[in-house]
A and B are shown apart, each in its own frame.
Chain A
Amino acid sequence: KAGVTQTPRYLIKTRGQQVTLSCSPISGHRSVSWYQQTPGQGLQFLFEYFSETQRNKGNFPGRFSGRQFSNSRSEMNVSTLELGDSALYLCASSSLAGSTGELFFGEGSRLTVL
Protein backbone atom coordinates (compact mmCIF):
# COMPACT_ATOMS: atom_id res chain seq x y z
CA LYS A 1 0.00 0.00 0.00
CA ALA A 2 1.57 3.26 -1.11
CA GLY A 3 2.13 5.94 1.50
CA VAL A 4 1.40 9.63 1.35
CA THR A 5 3.04 11.13 -1.73
CA GLN A 6 4.10 14.75 -1.92
CA THR A 7 5.41 16.61 -4.94
CA PRO A 8 7.68 18.32 -5.61
CA ARG A 9 10.18 17.22 -2.98
CA TYR A 10 12.40 20.29 -3.33
CA LEU A 11 11.86 23.66 -4.91
CA ILE A 12 13.42 27.08 -4.97
CA LYS A 13 11.41 30.24 -5.56
CA THR A 14 12.05 33.95 -5.29
CA ARG A 15 10.18 36.50 -3.22
CA GLY A 16 6.87 37.51 -4.70
CA GLN A 17 6.35 34.32 -6.66
CA GLN A 18 3.70 31.75 -5.84
CA VAL A 19 3.99 28.01 -5.32
CA THR A 20 1.65 25.03 -5.47
CA LEU A 21 2.37 21.84 -3.57
CA SER A 22 0.58 18.55 -4.13
CA CYS A 23 -0.33 15.70 -1.81
CA SER A 24 -1.81 12.31 -2.65
CA PRO A 25 -3.12 10.54 0.46
CA ILE A 26 -2.97 6.86 1.22
CA SER A 27 -5.54 5.03 -0.88
CA GLY A 28 -8.88 5.11 0.88
CA HIS A 29 -7.99 8.01 3.15
CA ARG A 30 -10.29 10.97 2.83
CA SER A 31 -8.80 13.38 5.35
CA VAL A 32 -5.76 15.43 4.38
CA SER A 33 -4.02 17.98 6.56
CA TRP A 34 -1.01 20.23 6.01
CA TYR A 35 1.75 21.33 8.38
CA GLN A 36 4.64 23.78 8.13
CA GLN A 37 7.95 23.04 9.84
CA THR A 38 10.52 25.77 10.46
CA PRO A 39 13.49 25.84 12.83
CA GLY A 40 12.02 28.74 14.76
CA GLN A 41 8.36 27.78 15.02
CA GLY A 42 8.52 24.00 14.86
CA LEU A 43 5.63 22.08 13.37
CA GLN A 44 2.48 24.11 12.90
CA PHE A 45 -0.94 23.17 11.56
CA LEU A 46 -2.01 24.88 8.34
CA PHE A 47 -5.37 23.35 7.40
CA GLU A 48 -7.36 20.15 7.10
CA TYR A 49 -9.68 18.91 4.37
CA PHE A 50 -12.23 16.16 4.34
CA SER A 51 -14.50 15.34 1.41
CA GLU A 52 -13.37 18.48 -0.43
CA THR A 53 -14.32 20.74 2.51
CA GLN A 54 -11.93 22.68 4.69
CA ARG A 55 -12.69 21.62 8.25
CA ASN A 56 -10.15 23.59 10.19
CA LYS A 57 -7.55 26.26 9.53
CA GLY A 58 -4.46 27.26 11.46
CA ASN A 59 -3.22 30.72 12.24
CA PHE A 60 -1.65 31.60 8.89
CA PRO A 61 -2.24 34.59 6.59
CA GLY A 62 -4.59 34.39 3.66
CA ARG A 63 -1.64 33.92 1.31
CA PHE A 64 -1.80 30.28 2.34
CA SER A 65 -4.68 28.41 0.75
CA GLY A 66 -5.59 24.90 -0.15
CA ARG A 67 -8.13 22.66 -1.73
CA GLN A 68 -9.08 19.03 -2.01
CA PHE A 69 -10.29 17.22 -5.07
CA SER A 70 -12.92 14.51 -5.40
CA ASN A 71 -10.21 11.83 -5.45
CA SER A 72 -8.97 13.15 -2.06
CA ARG A 73 -5.76 14.57 -3.52
CA SER A 74 -4.97 17.96 -2.07
CA GLU A 75 -3.00 21.00 -3.11
CA MET A 76 -1.80 23.96 -1.11
CA ASN A 77 -0.83 27.29 -2.57
CA VAL A 78 1.28 30.07 -1.17
CA SER A 79 1.07 33.37 -3.00
CA THR A 80 3.41 36.36 -2.83
CA LEU A 81 6.17 34.35 -1.25
CA GLU A 82 8.21 35.82 1.58
CA LEU A 83 11.60 34.74 2.88
CA GLY A 84 9.92 33.43 6.02
CA ASP A 85 7.90 30.94 3.99
CA SER A 86 11.03 28.86 3.55
CA ALA A 87 10.11 25.65 5.31
CA LEU A 88 9.38 21.97 5.08
CA TYR A 89 5.71 21.49 4.20
CA LEU A 90 4.29 18.18 5.37
CA CYS A 91 1.05 16.56 4.35
CA ALA A 92 -0.75 13.95 6.42
CA SER A 93 -3.66 11.67 5.68
CA SER A 94 -6.09 9.77 7.83
CA SER A 95 -8.84 7.31 7.15
CA LEU A 96 -11.17 8.90 9.66
CA ALA A 97 -12.75 12.29 9.95
CA GLY A 98 -13.13 13.84 13.32
CA SER A 99 -10.85 13.76 16.27
CA THR A 100 -9.82 10.11 16.21
CA GLY A 101 -7.67 8.27 13.74
CA GLU A 102 -3.96 7.95 13.22
CA LEU A 103 -2.24 10.43 10.92
CA PHE A 104 0.38 9.32 8.40
CA PHE A 105 2.81 11.82 6.92
CA GLY A 106 4.48 12.15 3.55
CA GLU A 107 8.14 12.94 2.96
CA GLY A 108 7.47 16.64 2.65
CA SER A 109 8.15 19.41 0.18
CA ARG A 110 11.14 21.54 1.08
CA LEU A 111 10.63 25.12 -0.12
CA THR A 112 13.43 27.66 -0.25
CA VAL A 113 12.52 31.29 -0.94
CA LEU A 114 15.38 33.52 -2.12
Chain B
Amino acid sequence: GIQVEQSPPDLILQEGANSTLRCNFSDSVNNLQWFHQNPWGQLINLFYIPSGTKQNGRLSATTVATERYSLLYVSSSQTTDSGVYFCAVRPFIIQGAQKLVFGQGTRLTINP
Protein backbone atom coordinates (compact mmCIF):
# COMPACT_ATOMS: atom_id res chain seq x y z
CA GLY B 1 0.00 0.00 0.00
CA ILE B 2 0.88 3.65 -0.10
CA GLN B 3 3.60 4.88 2.23
CA VAL B 4 3.49 8.29 3.92
CA GLU B 5 6.66 9.63 5.48
CA GLN B 6 6.85 12.76 7.57
CA SER B 7 10.01 14.60 8.50
CA PRO B 8 11.47 15.52 10.83
CA PRO B 9 9.95 13.26 13.51
CA ASP B 10 10.73 15.81 16.20
CA LEU B 11 11.37 19.53 16.04
CA ILE B 12 12.21 21.80 18.97
CA LEU B 13 12.22 25.54 18.41
CA GLN B 14 12.13 28.80 20.27
CA GLU B 15 9.07 31.01 20.17
CA GLY B 16 9.14 33.23 17.11
CA ALA B 17 11.01 30.78 14.90
CA ASN B 18 9.78 29.50 11.55
CA SER B 19 9.55 25.83 10.61
CA THR B 20 8.87 23.57 7.65
CA LEU B 21 7.32 20.15 8.00
CA ARG B 22 7.50 17.73 5.10
CA CYS B 23 5.24 14.91 3.93
CA ASN B 24 6.31 12.50 1.20
CA PHE B 25 3.97 9.91 -0.25
CA SER B 26 4.77 6.96 -2.45
CA ASP B 27 1.85 6.93 -4.89
CA SER B 28 -0.74 9.14 -6.53
CA VAL B 29 -3.32 10.57 -4.18
CA ASN B 30 -6.77 12.02 -4.57
CA ASN B 31 -6.55 14.09 -1.49
CA LEU B 32 -4.24 15.32 1.24
CA GLN B 33 -5.01 16.82 4.62
CA TRP B 34 -2.85 18.32 7.38
CA PHE B 35 -3.97 18.00 10.99
CA HIS B 36 -2.80 19.23 14.37
CA GLN B 37 -3.53 16.86 17.23
CA ASN B 38 -4.36 18.73 20.40
CA PRO B 39 -3.37 17.48 23.88
CA TRP B 40 -6.76 15.82 24.30
CA GLY B 41 -6.32 13.79 21.13
CA GLN B 42 -8.62 15.57 18.72
CA LEU B 43 -7.39 16.03 15.18
CA ILE B 44 -7.85 19.65 14.19
CA ASN B 45 -8.13 20.33 10.47
CA LEU B 46 -5.45 22.66 9.18
CA PHE B 47 -5.56 22.26 5.42
CA TYR B 48 -7.39 20.25 2.81
CA ILE B 49 -4.88 20.54 0.00
CA PRO B 50 -4.69 17.93 -2.78
CA SER B 51 -2.62 20.39 -4.81
CA GLY B 52 -1.49 23.99 -4.84
CA THR B 53 -0.85 26.42 -2.02
CA LYS B 54 -3.07 27.67 0.78
CA GLN B 55 -2.54 30.04 3.66
CA ASN B 56 -4.34 30.51 6.94
CA GLY B 57 -2.81 33.10 9.21
CA ARG B 58 0.66 32.02 10.27
CA LEU B 59 0.25 28.64 8.63
CA SER B 60 0.57 27.80 4.97
CA ALA B 61 0.82 24.61 2.97
CA THR B 62 1.95 23.56 -0.46
CA THR B 63 1.27 20.26 -2.20
CA VAL B 64 3.10 19.24 -5.36
CA ALA B 65 1.11 16.18 -6.32
CA THR B 66 3.21 15.36 -9.38
CA GLU B 67 6.31 15.11 -7.17
CA ARG B 68 4.43 13.44 -4.32
CA TYR B 69 5.15 15.76 -1.45
CA SER B 70 3.54 18.40 0.69
CA LEU B 71 5.02 21.05 2.96
CA LEU B 72 3.51 22.75 5.99
CA TYR B 73 5.01 26.07 7.02
CA VAL B 74 4.63 27.51 10.49
CA SER B 75 5.81 31.08 10.84
CA SER B 76 6.45 33.12 13.99
CA SER B 77 5.83 30.04 16.15
CA GLN B 78 3.92 30.35 19.41
CA THR B 79 3.87 27.93 22.33
CA THR B 80 0.29 27.05 21.41
CA ASP B 81 1.59 25.62 18.12
CA SER B 82 3.18 22.77 20.06
CA GLY B 83 1.79 19.32 19.39
CA VAL B 84 1.84 16.61 16.77
CA TYR B 85 1.21 17.45 13.13
CA PHE B 86 -0.10 14.74 10.85
CA CYS B 87 -0.23 14.49 7.11
CA ALA B 88 -2.88 12.13 5.70
CA VAL B 89 -3.52 11.12 2.12
CA ARG B 90 -6.25 9.30 0.29
CA PRO B 91 -4.80 6.86 -2.23
CA PHE B 92 -5.98 7.45 -5.77
CA ILE B 93 -6.49 3.77 -6.48
CA ILE B 94 -9.10 3.28 -3.80
CA GLN B 95 -12.09 4.80 -5.52
CA GLY B 96 -15.25 5.21 -3.57
CA ALA B 97 -13.64 5.00 -0.16
CA GLN B 98 -12.85 7.63 2.42
CA LYS B 99 -9.81 5.84 3.78
CA LEU B 100 -7.04 8.16 4.90
CA VAL B 101 -3.49 6.88 5.29
CA PHE B 102 -1.58 8.80 7.94
CA GLY B 103 2.07 9.54 8.37
CA GLN B 104 3.73 8.98 11.73
CA GLY B 105 3.58 12.67 12.55
CA THR B 106 6.00 15.45 13.45
CA ARG B 107 6.13 16.43 17.10
CA LEU B 108 6.69 20.18 17.29
CA THR B 109 7.76 21.71 20.58
CA ILE B 110 7.88 25.48 20.89
CA ASN B 111 9.74 26.75 23.93
CA PRO B 112 9.08 30.22 25.39
Q: B-contacting residues of A (Cβ < 8 Å)?
A: 31, 33, 35, 37, 42-45, 48, 50, 55-56, 58, 88, 90, 92, 94, 97-108, 110
Contacts and interface: CB of A to CB of B under 8 A. Distances in A.
Interface residues of B, number: 26
Nearest to A55: B97
14 contacts: A33-B99, A35-B100, A43-B86, A43-B102, A56-B94, A56-B99, A58-B99, A92-B43, A97-B98, A99-B94, A104-B45, A105-B42, A107-B40, A107-B42
Interface stretch (B17-25, B28-36, B72-80): B28-36
Contact of A102 (B33, B95, B96, B99): B33
A100 B31 contact: yes
Interface of B: 30-31, 33, 35, 40-43, 45, 48, 86, 88, 90, 92, 94-105
Given A105-B42, A110-B41, A99 B97 contact: yes
B101 A88 contact: no
Contacts of A55: 96-98
Given A42-B104, A42-B105, A48 B35 contact: no
Contacts of B97: 48, 55-56, 98-99
Contacts of B100: 33, 35, 45, 92, 103
A48 B102 contact: no
Contact of A33 (B48, B98, B103, B105): B98
Contacts of A50: 98
B95 to A, nearest CB: 6
Given A50-B98, A90-B43, A97-B98, 17 more contacts: A35-B102, A44-B102, A55-B98, A56-B94, A56-B97, A88-B41, A92-B43, A92-B98, A99-B90, A99-B94, A100-B30, A100-B31, A101-B98, A103-B88, A103-B100, A105-B42, A106-B42
